[in-house]
Amino acid sequence: MGDLIEMFLSLILGSIVTYWVINLFKRKSTKELTEKQSVILLDKIKSVCKLITVEGDFSEIYQYENTTEYLFNLIPSKKKALIVIKAKASVGYNLSKIEIKANYLSKRIILSKFPEPEVLAIETDFKYYDKTNGILNRFNFEDLTNLNKEAKQHIIDKIPESGLIASAKKETLESILLMEAIVATIGWKLDYSALEIPSSEKKKLIS
């Protein structure tokens, strides 16, 4: 009789231990899977990296003049060029600058900081008109390289007053919605409550 009771108790104890081990393994596997999902999701968001929201075309005329004096400043020599610049500027968000973290227990991606819009790319095409060399002061390869840089910077300096940055800021809402859609692909939620979003825009997010 005693042996039977011991066997019965052993079976019960074995069943409890087995149940405990199985549940522990399941919880560990679920946790590892959830953590892996969060890491993949964060990488997926950041892999988008640069999100272009607005583009603008520019057409500018850039005038360049350089005068160098020779022979103890007695002989001036001037070179000049007139450049027509056509450019396309892409403005948007560098998503590598966002601050996000994952809470795998609540399956939330917490967005605590969203970057300001910036110039992500600019394509330029230069055409030279009235390029005139001085007798002693002539254009060389380095001059033309620097001149192209100056002309490109001239376009970059024009972007803030063009309204492209302001237009890109209006697209912040759509950018957050895009991130929310990416997060939802694996059944998670995006928490953007830490962001300062106008109440009118938040209503759009809720609706």
Residues in the chain: 207
Tally Cβ neighbours within 10 Å of residue 55. Answer: 16
Tally Cβ neighbours within 10 Å of residue 69. Answer: 13
Residues of the chain with pLDDT under 50: 2-31, 33, 203, 206-207
Predicted structure pTM score: 0.62
Compute the distance between CA of residue 48 and CA of residue 189 in angstroms, rounded to an integer.
18
Of 135, 147, 194, 201, residue with least CA distance to 169: 201
Compute the distance between CA of residue 66 and CA of residue 150 in angstroms, rounded to an integer.
13
What confidence tens digit (pLDDT) does each residue in 13-72 have? 344 444 444 444 444 444 454 555 555 556 655 555 567 678 899 998 888 888 888 877
Q: How far apart are the first and last CA of the chain?
A: 70
